[in-house]
Amino acid sequence: MLLIETRDTEEMSLRAAEQIAALLTLKRDAVLGLATGSTPIGAYAKLAQWHKENALSFRQVKTVNLDEYRGLSPQSPDSYRWFMNHHLFQHVDIDMQNTHVPNGLAEDVREECARYDALIESLHGIDLQLLGIGMNGHIGFNEPASTITLETHCVTLSENTREVNAAYFASKDAMPTEAITMGMRPILQARRVLLVAAANKRGIIEKALFGPVTPEVPASLLQLHKRLTVVLARS
Please identify every residue annotated as catalytic. 67, 136, 138, 143
**Greatest distance between any 2 Cα atoms in the chain:** 47
Q: Is 38 in the site for ligand F6R (CB under 6 A)?
A: yes
If we measure between CA atoms, which residue out of 124, 120, 121 comes closest to residue 101? 120
Name the residue nearer to ligand F6R (CB basis): 60 or 168.
Answer: 168
- The stretch among 42-50, 99-107, 131-139, 184-192 that binds ligand F6R (CB under 6 A) is 131-139
Residue in 139, 175, 184, 204 binding ligand F6R, rule: CB under 6 A:
139
Q: Is 83 exposed, middle or buried (0-12, 13-18, 19+ CB in 10 A)?
A: buried
Question: DSSP secondary structure string, 147-210?
Answer: S---S-EEEEPPHHHHHHHGGGSSSGGGS-SEEEE--HHHHHHSSEEEEEE-GGGHHHHHHHHH
Q: Is 132 in the site for ligand F6R (CB under 6 A)?
A: yes
Residue in 15, 138, 153, 192 binding ligand F6R, rule: CB under 6 A:
138
Rounded to a whole number of angstroms, the minimum distance from the CB of residue 75 to ligand F6R is: 18
If we measure between CA atoms, which residue out of 27, 38, 7, 43 comes closest to residue 194? 43
If we measure between CA atoms, which residue out of 65, 152, 67, 147 comes closest to residue 111? 152
Q: Is 130 in the site for ligand F6R (CB under 6 A)?
A: no
Q: Is 183 in the site for ligand F6R (CB under 6 A)?
A: no
Name the residue nearer to ligand F6R (CB basis): 132 or 186.
Answer: 132
- The stretch among 34-42, 89-97, 118-126, 169-177 that binds ligand F6R (CB under 6 A) is 34-42
Residue nearest to ligand F6R (CB): 132
Name the residue nearer to ligand F6R (CB basis): 37 or 186.
Answer: 37
- Residues in contact with ligand F6R, shown as a per-residue x/- string from 53 to 82 under the rule CB under 6 A: -------------xx---------------
- The stretch among 24-32, 48-56, 86-94, 135-143 that binds ligand F6R (CB under 6 A) is 135-143
| Residues of this chain that bind ligand F6R (CB under 6 A) | 35-39, 66-67, 132-134, 138-141
